[in-house]
Amino acid sequence: MNMTTDGPDDTAVRFRAEICWLGPIMGAPEESDEPGKVKIAGAEDPALGKSFVVALLRVQEKDGYFIELPTNRPRELTEDPTNKPRELTSPKSDRHGWFAVAAPTELWQEPAEGVLVVLLYNQSKDLAYYTYDDYKPTHKPVGKEEIRGARAMLSSEKILDPMPPAVHDKIANAIEAAIVELLTTQKAKDIRKGLAELRPTPEPKPDDDLELVFAVASCQYPSAMLEGAVAGASYGRLADWVSGNEYRRPQFLLLVGDQIYVDGTAGLFDPTSQFDRFVRPYEILYRMNPVRDVLRRLPAYMMMDDHEIRDNWEPRVDDTRPDREMMEGRRSYLKFQRRAGPSEVSPVDDSSHPIWFAFKREPFGVFMADTRTERKMRTARHVAPARIMSDAQMMKLLEWLSDGKDREMPKIVATPSILLPRHARALQRNRVVSALRSDGWDGYPHSLRQVLTHIAREKIRNVVFVSGDEHLACVARVVLDAGDGDPVVFHSVHSSPLFAPFPFANSVREDLVANEEFDFHPARDRGGGVDDDNDGAGDAPGGGREMRCRVETRFAAAGDGFAILRVYGKPGAWKMQCDFDRAGGPDARSCFTYALS
């Protein structure tokens, strides 16, 4: 149906300006697809429908209100013809209202406090069928003769006519009026949760130690109606760290799994519809004010784990068809946890849907490993050769660890599943089949030995593994001896849960073998039987020189929270400070310091 009429030129155009319903969620500048820009993700208010345009406003608080500051960009490079050349862009939102926009990093230049992300919703009938892509502020609007010509050439029953001048010419003023109304009627404290902040990492002075400070967290159980303040307490304390001084403020956040629980009632009352199971939990999470306060100010790199799919998910033994729950969980993870980046990558060999990735926070490197969606089927007969990740991902991880250019630099490997210490239940009676009782790396002994062997043989030092999942905070110092008199040290840090209200779901110290020595032979699998070297994997003839692994573990105080890791020093003298945050302030924290090598 033809939606354009040749009515009078006094067509009304009116917008309603609101901050994001969900978000903003900050990406990292170094992960942007466009140089000089940073991704910002968010979602539209479902009660207001699709937004027409996203306005990015440089703002500063004055007398309790935000005032808009001009950009430093030449006016001809912006698309807003008003006297305030703000950044306007199309939201291009999906069916659930989620969008991501690329914002120039120069918008955050001082004296701006940040960038207020404002959505403009159409409130006029005459604009209802047009989008921002139909509106070209710097172009001449289409006149009535051109519209009539377009009608003659195209089927007006199937295509929307160009935007008429009566509508086009009033849009800029209507946007300006809506933004002014928002900024003058809403106090800064009420709309600050829509402010995206970007703080660059300070450049170190020549004599300063190099330093990387980041937060590690996982496992945010869904909050009930009356649990909001309690459920968001850990995020609230993390927001305090983000507001801290240069020394203690994290540069980014690693969320290493179970950011949401699609199975919060363990199957008793879990939803079955796609929306209620894989969309609504993210809306609940991102609507929590403490979560918003962190993610609008701190870039977060996220990796999914089992509760984004199903508790302890792994491929079924009796059904080799694609698992619909896993595919929906992975799709929702990419949509809601990776909306602000990093972008999805192409398949690599047997990694058909890679969600693992690496990034640099110069001069340090981080590898975010996927230990959930690529794990292979396990049975009592075939547990020894089972893999916790694809061969392609494993090879990429090992190559990344061996990178010669950054050989002496600390490397951070984030895996949702705990690497070390091992579970006592996975080592029962020296039988490899006991590995079936573990959901961590020791449940896949071949993969564990691959990583340990590579680190030992290649003499890769200053490696720190970080993980979540067990709801038990600890740090393991691991010494690997390949039998050549030159042992290698690395560390495995396991973070506490953000919110885990059920004690029976939490691991206890007795579940883990805190201090142990075990020998293992590289690449020795026969699929089952007696484990003569007590390494949790079946033995086979041959396999190379025996190696030894010594694990010494220190546990942090129990409770909900997160870890703040500070890696600092110079080549040859690296240290790590691990601060496990708890409710109750500094007196309740556990702080451990280690030399990395």
Spatial distance between the Cα atoms of 286 and 282, rounded to a whole number of angstroms? 6
Question: Which CATH class for the 210-595 domain?
Answer: alpha beta
Spatial distance between the Cα atoms of 468 and 421, rounded to a whole number of angstroms? 13
458: exposed, middle or buried (Cβ count in 10 Å: 0-12, 13-18, 19+): middle
Question: Is the CB of residue 468 less than 8 Å from the CB of residue 218?
Answer: yes
Q: Which of 102-111 are b and which e, b meaning 16 or more Cβ less than 10 Å from the residue's Cβ?
A: bbbeebbeee
Would you call 386 helix, strand, or coil by DSSP? coil
- For tokens 């910002």, what's the residue? 40
Domain positions in the chain are 15-196, 210-595
pLDDT at 349: 96
Q: Which of 580-596 are b and which e, b meaning 16 or more Cβ less than 10 Å from the residue's Cβ?
A: bbbeeeeeebbebebeb
Low-confidence ranges of the chain (pLDDT < 50): 1-10, 76-78, 147, 150-151, 153-158, 525-542
401: exposed, middle or buried (Cβ count in 10 Å: 0-12, 13-18, 19+): buried
Asked if the bond preceding 342 is cis, omega within 30° of 0, the reply is yes
List the structure tokens of 352: 């058909």
Digit-coded pLDDT (tens) for 486-540: 999 999 999 999 999 988 888 999 999 999 999 998 855 443 333 444 444 444 4
Would you call 578 helix, strand, or coil by DSSP? strand
Q: Which of 408-428 are b and which e, b meaning 16 or more Cβ less than 10 Å from the residue's Cβ?
A: ebbbbbbbbbbbbbbbbbbbe
pLDDT at 247: 67
Spatial distance between the Cα atoms of 44 and 369, rounded to a whole number of angstroms? 31
Spatial distance between the Cα atoms of 492 and 386, rounded to a whole number of angstroms? 22
DSSP 147: H
